Chain A
Amino acid sequence: MRGEVAIVGVHQLATEAEMEDVPEERMVFDAVKGALADAGVDRDVLDTVIVAGNDVLDGRTISNTFTAEAEGGYMKDETKVAHDGLHAAVYGVMRILSGLHDVAMVVAYGNHNSISYEQWTNFALDPFRIRPTGLDGIHLAALQARRYYETTDATPEDAARVAASNLAAARDNPLALRSDDVDPGDVAGSGVAADPLRQLEVAPPGDGACAVILASADRVDEFDPDPAYVQGIGHASDALRPGDDAFHRLRAAGRAGGTALSRAGVDADAVDVAELTELFAPHQLMLAETLGLADHGPDVLDDGVAVNPSGGALAGHAYFATGLHRLAEAARQVTGRAGDRQVDDATTALAHGASGPAHQANAAAVVSSEVGP
């Protein structure tokens, strides 16, 4: 699949704690219009539209009933993935690879209204065997983190460094919900979210949206931006099994990333920039290991691949938009459009998205400025 699909337009709304006076349709519309403007094209060029949204967040069943027109989907082959936006992008790539579509609009959004991340994740748990305990995604992440610390050399101090690093990086990202100039000691002292997680180690939820236009590589000249080629994609989901190694090794994330890298024909060490969905600081370390970016997760803090120069999810997540934020960022990095957070000589980037309690459902994409190997 190398060299066959490219990202030819990107628009990301700045993630905000609450987008006042902005309903879901408006967020989607602004993201899609922005991507079309970025690409320098009209809606007419689209063959298919894929939205990623969640009914529970919206408080509406069949949420794309109401967002379809704002997505640019009117009278088009439009569908909805009920997983993270990066899953929707993966599906969009498949549609183009099939030869039946040339240009796909992928849009993802999250408007969290008044439901909390805790409620949203608790509602996703097995209603018989786990949900009645009252556990939620934050507790599960804490259980994963503790298992990770117990079974590896990584420590809470390493996670605190991740949080400090990502929040600092976010200062160069006008799209981030939050940024801060803190040191690991401040993170450690930020209060307990669910031990060993500290408050500053938990990605804050916000309202956000993002749209990415995918095109068959033979059409890239019709679009304004330099293309970022999607060289490999992968996705995988793990059942929630807190006693298994897969739980703290984030096995499904590793499979998604591994497949993407393998399809792209590159090893993890070819990755210049990794934009990962770390809803919790320790998870960035776990992800680094499972994706093969480092044998010892904390090593990514010191050298090698640049991880989350955007600030990542710790700088603000918007539910199902979060993975698409990562893909948008990866595309910007490899095409030199990442502004003050540009990583020098970035030609190959890995984007990762995750959703569901305990990072169960994962997708990944390898993007590159080069069309061939």
Chain B
Amino acid sequence: MTEFDVFEERIEIEYFRSTAPSVRAFLTSLRDDAEILGSTCEECGHVEVPPRDACPACGADVESFEPVPSEGELISWTDDGDEAFGVVALDGTDAGFVHALLDDDVEVGARVQAVFADDREGHLSDIEGFEVIG
């Protein structure tokens, strides 16, 4: 090793992201109502969660945001030893919702439901994760 063979640097950049209506509505719903909001396309009926302002199925503008059930079927999961994540097909929606799993022993096909935090700020972490209910 010679001197100065490594040049250290730390890049720190702060972001203050403007949000689209779907995101505003989604975060508000998490904080105020402990509900997961989805978006419903008036053209083709596709229900997306988390909500988006354009329909991923047909490309139309979407302006309708409604709460969706916070439970559904676990269609995939992973566990790295520290954290577990799952893809949940929430009932009545056409998308897979990705979030933390709270149980150690899960199987694809399990019924799971969201557990909300008591203190919520309008952030994805307002959902602590999903627990198995059956």
Q: Is A26 an interface residue (CB 8 A)?
A: no
A192 to B104, CA, bound (A): 14
B85-132 residues with Cβ-Cβ distance < 8 A to A are: 85-87, 89, 94-100, 108, 123-125
What A residues does B5 contact at CB under 8 A?
20-21
Q: Digit string of A132-161 for contact with B (CB within 8 Å is 1, else 0)?
A: 111100110011101100100000000000
User: What is the CA–CA distance of A244 and B93 in the complex, to the nearest angstrom?
Assistant: 12
- One of A128, A129, A147 near B75 (C-beta < 8 A): A147
Q: Does B9 contact A (CB under 8 A)?
A: yes
Evaluate contact between B81 and A192: CB separation under 8 angstroms. Answer: yes
A193, B96: Cβ atoms under 8 Å? no
**Which residue of the partner chain A has the closest CB to B8?**
A114
Residues of A within 8 A of B19 (CB): 128
Indicate if B11 sits at the interface (CB-CB under 8 A). Answer: yes
Point out the residues of chain A lying under 8 angstroms from B96, CB to CB. Answer: 241-244, 247
Not counting A129-B23, A150-B75, a sample of 16 additional A-B residue pairs whose C-beta atoms are within 8 angstroms of each other reads: A20-B5, A128-B19, A128-B23, A128-B50, A129-B50, A130-B98, A133-B124, A135-B98, A139-B85, A143-B78, A150-B76, A150-B108, A194-B80, A241-B95, A242-B87, A243-B97
Give chain B's interface residues, CB within 8 Å of chain A: 5, 9, 11, 15, 17, 19, 23, 26, 50, 56, 75-81, 83, 85-87, 89, 94-100, 108, 123-125
22 A-B residue contacts at CB 8 Å?
A: A20-B5, A21-B5, A128-B17, A128-B26, A129-B50, A132-B123, A133-B124, A135-B98, A138-B80, A143-B87, A143-B98, A144-B76, A192-B79, A192-B80, A197-B78, A242-B87, A242-B96, A243-B87, A243-B89, A243-B96, A244-B96, A248-B76
